[in-house]
C-alpha cells in the first residue's frame, strides 16, 4: 500500500515513520509513505499557503489553490479512484472498521489541515472522505494522519510478526479484549488467575471470552448492543449478571 500525506510540517513524520511497526512495515515492503510539503505547490514566491478568512474572525484559512494542485498532481499517478481523505474534527469518526476498509485500498492521499482549517472549496472539489480521530481539537491534522496510518498499516499482510493477534484485539470482534498477565505469578499480593496457569486451552478460551464480555459490558455497553450475541455469549452474560448482583 502507498500513502501520500500532504502537510506543511513534513518533519513531523520523520521519527514516527522510522520506529517500531511503521518502520518495519516499510522495510518489508508492505507500506510506502510519501510525505509532501504543501508549500511545493504554493503559487507565489513566498510559498504562502494560508490567507485571512472572508467575513473576518480569528485565525487563518488554508488556501484552495496549493491543496487542490497537490491533490491533482498526486491523483495523476494514483488514478481517479484513490481516496482523498481530509483529516478534520468534523469528519466521520475513524474506527477499526474504517481502518479495515482503508487497508483494502492500494493507495490513500491524506490532507492535514492547519489554522482554522481548509477553504471549503477544497472539500467540495477534491476531497472524497473526511475523517476525525475524536471529539477534540488538534492544532493540525498531522497527529490524526499518523493515527490513521498506524491503524491501517498494522492490518497489512506481512506487517505483524503474529497476525493471529489481530483477531482477539479490542474492536476486531466488536468486544474489548480480555485482560493480560505475564510473569511473575504473584506481584504485590496480586495473583494471575489460576485458569491461565492450567494449560487447559478450552477453559482459557472460555475465561477470556467471558472477561471480554464483562469488560465490554462495564466499559462500553453500547458495543454489546450492536452485536448479535451467540448462545454462549448470552450464557456468559447471564453468569456475569448474577456475579455482579452478588458483589
Ligand atoms: C485547529 S484545527 C481546526 C478546527 C476547525 N476550526 C473546527 O472548529 O472544526 C486545525 C486542523 O487540525 C486537524 N484536526 C484537528 N482536530 C482534529 C481531529 N479531532 N481529527 C482530525 N483532524 C483534526 C484538521 O486537519 C484541522 O483542519
d(CA 49, CA 114): 10
Output the CA–CA distances (angstroms, integers) from residue 234 to 210, 220, 240, in the order listed: 10, 17, 10
pLDDT at 161: 82
By residue count, the chain amounts to 247
Ordered by where they begin, the domains of the chain are 2-153 (3.40.1280.10), 165-246 (1.10.1270.20)
DSSP tag of 75: H
d(CA 134, CA 70): 26
d(CA 25, CA 21): 6
Ligand 1 neighbours (beta carbon < 6 A): 87-90, 112-114, 116-117, 132-134, 136-141, 144
Per-residue pLDDT of the chain (247 residues; tens, 9 = 90+): 999 999 999 999 999 999 999 999 999 999 999 999 999 999 899 999 999 999 999 999 999 999 999 999 999 999 999 999 999 999 999 999 999 999 999 999 999 999 999 999 999 999 999 999 999 999 999 999 999 999 999 999 999 988 777 877 888 889 999 999 999 999 999 999 999 999 999 999 999 999 999 999 999 999 999 999 999 999 999 999 999 999 8
pLDDT at 159: 94
pLDDT at 171: 86
Name the residue with the closest Cα to ligand 1, atom 10: 114
Out of 57, 58, 60, 89, mutate this one to test ligand 1's pocket (max ligand atoms within 8 Å of CB): namely: 89
Show Cβ contacts of residue 154 under 8 Å, excluding neighbours closer than 6 positions.
21, 25, 160, 166
Q: Which atom of ligand 1 is nearest to the CA of 135?
A: 19
Q: Which atom of ligand 1 is nearest to the CA of 118?
A: 27
Q: What does the DSSP assignment read for 131-151?
A: EESSSS--SSSHHHHHHHHHH
Regarding pTM above 0.85, the answer is yes
Name the residue with the closest Cα to ligand 1, atom 19: 89
pLDDT at 39: 98
Query: Cα(145) to centroid of ligand 1, in Å?
Result: 11
Query: Cα(143) to centroid of ligand 1, in Å?
Result: 10
Q: Which atom of ligand 1 is nearest to the CA of 116?
A: 6
pLDDT at 162: 81
Name the residue with the closest Cα to ligand 1, atom 23: 88
Instruction: Give me the phi and psi of 88, to 5 degrees please.
Output: -155, 140
Q: Which atom of ligand 1 is nearest to the CA of 136?
A: 19
Query: Cα(90) to centroid of ligand 1, in Å?
Result: 8
Query: Cα(116) to centroid of ligand 1, in Å?
Result: 7
pLDDT at 157: 95
pLDDT at 164: 78
Query: Cα(31) to centroid of ligand 1, in Å?
Result: 26
Amino acid at each position: 500500500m502507498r500513502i501520500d500525506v500532504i502537510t506543511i510540517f513534513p518533519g513531523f513524520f520523520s521519527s514516527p515513520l522510522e520506529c517500531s511497526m511503521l518502520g518495519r512495515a516499510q522495510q518489508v515492503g508492505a507500506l510506502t509513505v510519501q510525505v509532501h510539503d504543501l508549500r511545493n505547490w504554493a503559487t507565489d514566491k513566498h510559498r504562502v499557503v494560508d490567507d485571512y478568512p472572508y467575513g473576518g474572525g480569528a485565525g487563518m484559512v488554508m488556501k484552495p489553490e496549493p491543496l487542490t494542485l497537490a491533490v491533482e498532481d498526486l491523483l495523476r499517478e494514483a488514478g481517479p479512484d484513490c481516496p482523498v481523505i481530509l483529516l478534520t474534527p468534523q469528519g466521520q469518526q475513524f474506527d477499526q472498521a474504517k481502518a479495515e476498509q482503508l487497508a483494502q485500498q492500494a493507495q490513500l492521499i491524506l490532507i492535514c489541515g492547519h489554522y482554522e482549517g481548509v477553504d471549503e472549496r477544497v472539500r467540495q472539489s477534491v476531497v472524497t472522505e473526511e475523517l476525525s480521530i475524536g471529539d477534540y481539537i488538534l492544532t493540525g491534522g498531522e497527529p490524526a494522519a499518523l493515527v490513521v496510518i498506524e491503524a491501517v498499516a498494522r492490518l497489512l499482510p506481512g506487517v505483524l510478526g503474529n497476525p493471529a493477534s489481530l483477531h482477539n484485539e479490542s474492536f476486531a470482534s466488536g468486544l474489548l479484549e480480555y485482560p493480560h498477565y505475564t510473569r511473575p505469578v504473584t506481584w504485590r499480593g496480586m495473583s494471575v488467575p489460576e485458569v491461565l496457569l492450567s494449560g487447559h486451552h478450552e477453559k482459557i478460551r472460555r475465561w477470556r471470552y467471558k472477561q471480554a464480555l464483562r469488560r465490554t459490558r462495564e466499559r462500553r455497553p453500547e458495543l454489546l448492543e450492536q452485536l448479535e450475541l451467540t448462545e454462549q455469549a448470552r450464557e456468559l452474560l447471564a453468569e456475569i449478571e448474577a456475579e455482579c448482583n452478588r458483589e
